[in-house]
Structure 1
Amino acid sequence: MRLRELRVFIVALLVVLFLVFSIIGFQTFGKFAEPIDNVTATAIELAKGNYKVRVPSVLDGTIDQLSTSVNILARNLQDISFVRKIEEERLKTLIENMGSALVMIGREGKITVVNKPFLNQFDFDFDKVDNQPFRNTGLPSEVVEFIDMIFMTEKSARKQIRFEYQQVKHMELYGAPVIGEHGRWLGVVVVMHDVTELVRLEQIRKDFVANVSHELKTPITSIKGFSETLLDGAMEDRQALHDFLQIIHKESERLQFLIQDLLELSKIEQHGFSIELHRTSLREIIDRSMEMVVQKAEEKEMSLVLKMEEDIEFEADTGRMIQIVMNLLANAVNYSLSGTTVTLQAYIENGHAVIKISDEGIGIAQQELPRIFERFYRVDRARSRNSGGTGLGLAIVKHLVEAHNGRIAVHSTVGKGTTFKVSIPLWQSM
């Protein structure tokens, strides 16, 4: 009987011990398993790119060290991600606002990066070029050939091209291969800078030098030729002497006028050029200007008609305004046929003093109008030279009008005449 009771007791004791150890083991396992689960879950979130997640702090030394290490890693990854985003924003801002068109093409020949200047330059939509083969986007053939050359040579290159895309354009292209870490070939980047305006200005400069040389050469050649003829014996002939001296005098005057106009234009175009503004009378300016051209008009039996209801007072530089009106009147007289009329109108319009000078002359073709204010540009070179002009008058007029914060416009019909309209603010302080 006692043996049976002892067995029951032992079994019961074993059951109790099992239950106790089970409870203790479960509690111990839970104590270590939960922090490990937290660390595991945090690591999974970090792998997904969620760098804001953190492991809850625990009191156990070993697990706490692991949790702290994972949290430090998370903070470092978050800081790196933040810095990377800032750098990406800076790079994006730089690319978008660099002023030049930029395109990056991957190793497969597909466009991977473009900026707004590139899209605007060729009138592209981003969706139609993004990740598209560069050959299929409609780029000018000259640009495609340049990109192909960079791909083939794998070397940096620079080239200026001329092409017609809606209008004639000049582009400075710079292309370079993009090499990643360990020499990995990533593609090609091309920067395109529009130099159309620079090319135009360079052409104007070349034309100016050529025209100045030509304009100076003509009178100098005449003076030299006739003076040599006189020295060779023609001076013994009184009539020839008189005629040749008149020609020399006329050509020297022409040379003097040209040099004066060149110096005047150079002075006006200099930085810091200013005009002396004061209250002045438009009627006085017009009267003094007409006095300077009336003799020439009478020689051609032309009429000068002024249409002005009342005097207009405005703020301007009197001497420069006389120069403006006199130049325009002189052109109207010089390029009009004998017996015609030059009409000058003056009135106020939208807070501006307006001067309109109309002639009944040869007129100017529409394609010539955008260039008539360029230095030495002549619609009819032979006729302009015979009229005695230097080719600088309208360039000077335009600069002086702009110095008054004004505007000058021209309307012309070939065979019917030309009208210049000058608008000057009544008060410069407005």
Structure 2
Amino acid sequence: MSSFRTRLTLILIAMIGLSVLAGGLFMGKTFKDNHMDALQENMEREIGIILDQMDWRTGEPDALFGYYTQKAEKLKKLTESRVTFIRGDGVVLGDSDHDPKTMDNHLTREEVIKAKKNVVGRSIRRSDTTKENLIYVAKLVDPANPNSDIIRLALSLKTVDKSIQRIWSTLGIGLLILFVAAALISYRVASGLTKPLEQITRVSKRIKNLDYKARVTVQRNDEIGELGLAINAMADSLQVQMARIHQNESQLASVLDNMINGIIMIDRTGKIGLINRYAEDLLGLSARDLVGRSYGEAKQQYELSQIIQDGLERREHLREEITFYFPEERLLDLNLVPIFEENEEFGGVMLVLQDVTAIRRLERMRSEFVANVSHELKTPVTAVKGFAETLLGGAVDDPETARSFLQIIFDESDRLNRLIGDILELSKIESRRVPLQFSPIELSTFINKTVELMGSEAVRKNIRISVKTEPDIYVEADEDRLRQIIMNLLANGISYTPDGGHVSIQVEPVNSLGIGDEMDYDHIRIHISDTGIGIPKKDLPRIFERFYRVDKARSRSSGGTGLGLSIVKHLVELHRGSISVDSKVGSGSTFTIELPVIQ
């Protein structure tokens, strides 16, 4: 028997049993009430007979105790009830079960109070004298006199309880017989209903567990058979709809997770319904912690919460750019778009976040580049123009002055030519229009040849250049561009090192592993150090920017354009490498280049 069939059978048994039990309880209570009423009425009639047959005496209690006690004991044998005679003021004159001299005044007894009001008084209560539950019936001797003496009969409830127990025994046997009959009938009924329902239940559970291929085998043409057909049709529809939903969800999730903009959906009540991965990264929030909660619970800056609040209130498109400082400093372009459902009812807002930090930085760099180029070009042009005007004004007649001015014009023109060349070179490198021709380079020979090219400049300033490199260290690189990197850094070191100083270049393998007599390595590192003036710590993050100079006067006098280190950095990055600098004012600087061996 299946659990469902068992439950159905038990339900039917329980329903029948509860019905029988309720009927039995009602019958028992009705019998008990009727029996109690009949007893009390019979006791009332007995009191009437006693009054009719008894000689009622009056006088002092001491003279009457013996008379009434004797009468009470005699009447108890006849009525099988406790008999009590009570004077009108509550004094007990006689009692069949207790010495009346020791009994309390009965004027406050419930049945006595009722008898004085209604001639006859009834009550069921615990006796203070016998300490057991009794049925009391009291009646006035003279109905016309409220202060009349009273006769009271009392019967123990034990008698009634015995009768009730017999009723309950009979009911219990009847209930047991009905339960057995109900179990047999319920089993037959349940068996006919539950077998097809059990199959339908199993199929329904499989559908609930997302098994949309489950179907009911229909073998009946009644209502249960129609239910099976309906479930099969529902499963067919669900299978089609869920496949479509899963496909749409997968596409939507893929689109949201791979968007380059952050998306946050907020309903009309202010609860967050969706946060895509990019929005989590931008704001430093967790979708798991916030979806389903109010946007106000997100620990974000006030401006964002204010924009969302304004959007929910105004229900119109809002746009703002805000700088965020957590989890890192970013400039975000915020677009708040209201969402209206098919019935034009306001459904909430969609917040689109775009990181425009790089765009604004590029715009600023472009503006600064134009300003710097204009300034750098204007300086030599102004010098050339000024000295040319001086020569035209008559200085050409003085040969010594004219030669000096023409030399200045030549130097400034040469500087202008170098500046334009560096600008064009940097432009090509940044736009990645520089084709690199990679080939294996043996660094020991390559470095020595490059140092020779810088020898004349080093000799002029009495600067010693030392090279430390191991033989047979190779790297795959563009030879011309790598030489341009090394020469620019050596030229910088020579320019900013006082006469008599020292510039060194060292090459070493990185992540090397000795295998026999050979070395295996995946990167090489080049250190170029000098004993020059050094770079202040505050300037280190910016030295690779275009036109940035630590010592502007020194740079101009040395003929530098301010673009050398920027070109070096871009060329290193084209080789998929990195460059860093370590410097201390007055002690010199060390530039470190790390390049992969294989491109």
| TM-score band, normalised by shorter chain | 0.7 to 0.9
Select 2:307's aligned residue among 120, 141, 146: 146
Distance 1:359 1:31, change over 3 A: closer
Q: Which amino acid aligns with 2:426?
A: L
Within 2, Cα distance between the matches of 1:295 and 1:423?
Answer: 28
Where does 1:12-411 land on structure 2 (aligned, <5 Å)?
Answer: 56-57=217-218, 68=229, 71-271=232-432, 273-308=434-469, 310=471, 312=473, 314-349=475-510, 350-411=521-582
3-state secondary structure, aligned to 1:361 = coil
Within 1, Cα distance between the matches of 2:501 and 2:199?
Answer: 101
3-state secondary structure, aligned to 2:285 = coil
Note if contact 1:150-1:157 (Cα within 8 Å) is conserved in structure 2: yes
Note if contact 1:140-1:165 (Cα within 8 Å) is conserved in structure 2: no
Structure with max Cα Rg = 2
Deviations 1:319-342 (A, max 9, x none): 333222211111001112233221
Q: Which amino acid aligns with 1:247?
A: I
Note if contact 1:288-1:322 (Cα within 8 Å) is conserved in structure 2: no
Using structure 1 for the length normalisation, give the TM-score: 0.79
Shift of 1:215: 1.1
3-state secondary structure, aligned to 1:181 = coil
Select 2:583's aligned residue among 390, 405, 412: 412
Note if contact 2:536-2:583 (Cα within 8 Å) is conserved in structure 1: yes
Shift of 1:219: 0.7
Distance 1:358 1:66, change over 3 A: closer
Deviations 1:381-411 (A, max 9, x none): 3322222111121222223334444433321
Within 1, Cα distance between the matches of 2:427 and 2:404?
Answer: 35
- Which structure is richer in relative contact order (CA contacts within 8 A, separation 6 or more)? 1
Within 1, Cα distance between the matches of 2:210 and 2:342?
Answer: 23
Shift of 1:150: 1.3
Q: Which amino acid aligns with 1:339?
A: G
Distance 1:54 1:181, change over 3 A: farther
When structure 1 is superposed on structure 2, of 47-56 and 132-141 the one drifting more is: 47-56
Note if contact 1:142-1:163 (Cα within 8 Å) is conserved in structure 2: no
Note if contact 1:406-1:425 (Cα within 8 Å) is conserved in structure 2: yes
When structure 1 is superposed on structure 2, of 47-56 and 385-394 the one drifting more is: 47-56
Within 1, Cα distance between the matches of 2:268 and 2:407?
Answer: 76
3-state secondary structure, aligned to 1:182 = coil
Aligned Cα RMSD in Å? Answer: 3.7
Q: Which amino acid aligns with 1:373?
A: F
Note if contact 1:297-1:333 (Cα within 8 Å) is conserved in structure 2: yes
Distance 1:423 1:97, change over 3 A: closer
Note if contact 2:334-2:354 (Cα within 8 Å) is conserved in structure 1: yes
3-state secondary structure, aligned to 1:192 = strand
Note if contact 2:274-2:287 (Cα within 8 Å) is conserved in structure 1: no
Distance 1:425 1:175, change over 3 A: closer
Shift of 1:123: 2.3
Deviations 1:143-171 (A, max 9, x none): 12221221122112332222322542101
Within 2, Cα distance between the matches of 1:276 and 1:47?
Answer: 63
Note if contact 2:282-2:327 (Cα within 8 Å) is conserved in structure 1: no
Shift of 1:49: 10
Note if contact 1:274-1:403 (Cα within 8 Å) is conserved in structure 2: no
Within 2, Cα distance between the matches of 1:285 and 1:42?
Answer: 78
Shift of 1:65: 7.8
Distance 1:389 1:61, change over 3 A: same
Distance 1:334 1:311, change over 3 A: farther
Could you tell me which residue of structure 1 aligns to residue 142 of structure 2? none
Identity of aligned residues (%): 40
Within 1, Cα distance between the matches of 2:528 and 2:208?
Answer: 79
* Aligned pairs, number: 399
Q: Which amino acid aligns with 1:219?
A: P
Within 1, Cα distance between the matches of 2:393 and 2:449?
Answer: 46
Within 1, Cα distance between the matches of 2:372 and 2:557?
Answer: 16
Within 1, Cα distance between the matches of 2:419 and 2:259?
Answer: 43
Shift of 1:86: 3.0
Q: Which amino acid aligns with 2:387?
A: F
Note if contact 1:104-1:187 (Cα within 8 Å) is conserved in structure 2: yes
**Structure 2: segments with no counterpart, 5+ residues:** 1-190, 511-520
Within 2, Cα distance between the matches of 1:47 and 1:421?
Answer: 64
Distance 1:45 1:256, change over 3 A: closer
When structure 1 is superposed on structure 2, of 107-116 and 119-128 the one drifting more is: 119-128
Shift of 1:199: 2.0
Distance 1:42 1:278, change over 3 A: closer
Q: Which amino acid aligns with 2:549?
A: R
Distance 1:41 1:283, change over 3 A: closer
Shift of 1:218: 0.9
Deviations 1:75-100 (A, max 9, x none): 22442243224323332333233232
3-state secondary structure, aligned to 2:545 = coil
When structure 1 is superposed on structure 2, of 339-348 and 265-274 the one drifting more is: 265-274
Within 2, Cα distance between the matches of 1:174 and 1:202?
Answer: 21
